[in-house]
Chains A and B, each alone.
Chain A
Amino acid sequence: MKTQRIKIGTCVLLLPLHHPVHVAEDCAVIDLATKGRLILSVGVGYQPHDFAAFEVPSTERATRTEEALEVIRHCWSGERFSYSGKHFHYQDTLITPRPLQQPGPPVWMASWTPPGLRRAAKTADGWIADPVQSLPVIKEYATRYRTAAQKAGRKPYICLMRDAVLAGSLTEAETESGPTMYTHRFYFQYGAYVPDEYLKDVKRPEDLTFAKTAKDRLIVGSPDDCLQQLKHWQAEVQPDYLILRFRQPGGPSHQQTLEAIRLFGEKVIPKL
């Protein structure tokens, strides 16, 4: 086993594009192999060409996701089950093996729309706040999610995702932010950005400067800079978990990323 302790998770698996029994089986095997360290994070998807490629109508993504989660949990129960939904039907079906975690690995759901927040609150064990939206948007969404979770009788659990550019200083972070900015301009172009006060003058992806993107959205700069920004997020959103992404396809290098993992682990994580 290459790791012994850390949790292993998907983040995120576009559930409507997968067969739920296949997902349930794979998750059970991974959970057993890692001695109960799996977290299944799912999303409903948003890019039309993803749905076209898998011949799944995007209009069915919400109901497929909700049903798939019900089927997955039946599969993890270790008991025979029957299920009749709009998309999936089973009669006296038994799926083995059971995952080690019972009643199953935690299921987190990513969403960036009000209906998606309600879906996460109603059907998942946690909500993943995407790395795209700014703090004011996430703060409002967190309130909505917590209210919906309490209404659904579930304990709210918020996993905050952020993109980070760890560097010697804020100036160096801007210099090294090219790959992260490329990703965020892609998100903007696809309409993933929810309008906020920082985007008033942004009409096209190329209008999205580092300053506009970084403010209350990215985690950037030295370890001390990152710590201060994350403490601000903690105070405003009170997340239960944080997922950080340092590396995009365009960089930084693997060696730089290993160093960022070390620095962050030594200088930031213990103080959060």
Chain B
Amino acid sequence: MLPVGYLPCTQDPPSGANMTRVIDEIMAEAQAAETYGWDGCFIWA
């Protein structure tokens, strides 16, 4: 089986006012990826 990684959205344009929410969503999406058989979670750094 081909391993599949997930790349979440890390941006909150234009002001970044909702970055706390964005980070919480990234964590939730990473956890969902783990639950549903994805292999990795990659962050645009």
Answer yes or no: A4 CB below 8 A from chain B CBs.
yes
The answer to whether B32 touches A41, judged by C-beta atoms less than 8 angstroms apart, is no
The answer to whether A3 touches B41, judged by C-beta atoms less than 8 angstroms apart, is yes
The answer to whether B1 touches A243, judged by C-beta atoms less than 8 angstroms apart, is no
**Residue interface bits B16-43, CB-to-A below 8 A is 1, else 0:** 0000000001011111111111111111
**Residue interface bits A239-254, CB-to-B below 8 A is 1, else 0:** 1111111111100001
The answer to whether B32 touches A6, judged by C-beta atoms less than 8 angstroms apart, is no
Answer yes or no: A58 CB below 8 A from chain B CBs.
no
A4 to B8, CA, bound (A): 18
Answer yes or no: A11 CB below 8 A from chain B CBs.
yes
- Assess A9 versus B28: contact at CB under 8 Å? Given A241-B2, A243-B6: no
Q: Which residues of B contact A14 (CB under 8 A)?
A: 45
Say which residue of A11, A254, A269 sits within 8 Å of B44 (CB atoms): A11
Within 8 A of B (CB), among A241-272: 241-249, 254, 257-258, 261-262, 264-266, 269-270, 272
Report which B residues bind A (CB closer than 8 A): 1-9, 11-13, 25, 27-45
Can you name 16 extra interface pairs (CB under 8 A) apart from A8-B41, A258-B32? A2-B31, A3-B30, A9-B5, A11-B7, A11-B44, A234-B2, A243-B7, A243-B42, A245-B9, A249-B12, A257-B29, A261-B32, A261-B33, A264-B4, A269-B1, A269-B38
